Amino acid sequence: MNSNRAQHGFTLIEVMLAMGITVIVAIMAFQGLDSAMQLSESEQKESDNIQRTSRVLDILGKDFRQIVPRVVRDPTGNGYEDAFFYNSASFPMMKFSRNGWTNPQPTRFQRSQLQRVHYHFDGKKLIRTSFQAIDRLPDEEGTEITLLDDVRSFEVKLLTSQTTNTSGDQQAPATQSNGIKPTQWVDMWPAQQAQFTQGGQYQASNLLPMAIEIEIDIEKWGKLRRVFELAGND
């Protein structure tokens, strides 16, 4: 009697219950794996965003620290451009000359280590354009790179240097008792009043700010603020 009972198999209910448990365990395992994969992808995207933002700040820093007081010939041939220019309402908004453009093959390609660089913010993208020749021709096209494409705002402030009243190189609203004009942050460069020759031609300025402050509002990060000191204003 006991032997016959031992030979009986599982009932249908027991089989269905076992299958149900197996399915539930499999679903839970799949959901756990899917969540882990999504978390991993999210972390990877976050890491990529951090690296990209860090790389952009590094590019800005290298550009700004290499700025030199070198005016350039206007591509149209009508006079010269300022060594450093910034106006948020202009296109491009920022233009400057920089040093340190390494030539990897100096024996094959003879060119200057000076480079003209433009920055522009179109309301969404922060774009950098560089040119092969420091004094370029009208038809020369630059190399354009989109540094960031999720920017809400890009603001720049420039620190003026201290100058004496007699030099006339910089304009400031106030003067200290020792005859030295205090430094101040401005939102346009050149900060001094425009100068013209007797023939009415614009006289380009080689003056540089002491420092550049940038504030970038990135959609996924919020606002980032950095201050870069310039070496070329000494």
| Domain ranges (residues) in the chain | 51-164+181-229
Lowest mean pLDDT among 40-54, 59-73, 129-143: 40-54
More confident residue, 22 or 83: 83
pLDDT at 222: 86
Question: CA–CA separation, 96 vs 84, rounded Å?
Answer: 4
Largest separation between any pair of C-alpha atoms in the chain: 125
Helices (H), the chain: 2-6, 12-65
Question: CA–CA separation, 224 vs 148, rounded Å?
Answer: 13
Length of the chain: 234
Q: Which CATH architecture has domain 51-164+181-229?
A: Roll (3.10)
Beta carbons of 119 and 147 less than 8 angstroms apart: no
Question: CA–CA separation, 41 vs 63, rounded Å?
Answer: 33
pLDDT, tens digit, 9 for 90 and up, residues 182-210: 789 999 999 877 776 666 677 889 999 99
* Contacts with 111 (C-beta within 8 Å, 6 or more apart), sequence order: 103, 132, 133
Beta carbons of 159 and 233 less than 8 angstroms apart: no
pLDDT at 70: 93
Mean pLDDT of 57-83: 92
E strand residue ranges, the chain: 72-73, 80-81, 84-86, 94-98, 115-121, 126-131, 143-148, 151-159, 185-186, 195-196, 202-203, 211-218, 222-229
pLDDT, tens digit, 9 for 90 and up, residues 144-194: 999 999 899 999 999 997 653 333 444 444 444 444 457 899 999 998 777
Residue 17 has pLDDT above 60, yes or no: yes
pLDDT at 112: 74
Task: Say whether pTM exceeds 0.85.
Answer: no
pLDDT, tens digit, 9 for 90 and up, residues 24-59: 877 777 777 767 676 666 666 667 777 888 899 999
Residue 7 has pLDDT above 60, yes or no: no
Question: CA–CA separation, 45 vs 179, rounded Å?
Answer: 54
* Contacts with 48 (C-beta within 8 Å, 6 or more apart), sequence order: none
pLDDT, tens digit, 9 for 90 and up, residues 87-97: 999 999 999 99
pLDDT at 107: 60
| Dihedral of the alpha carbons of 82, 83, 84, 87, in degrees to the nearest 10 | 20
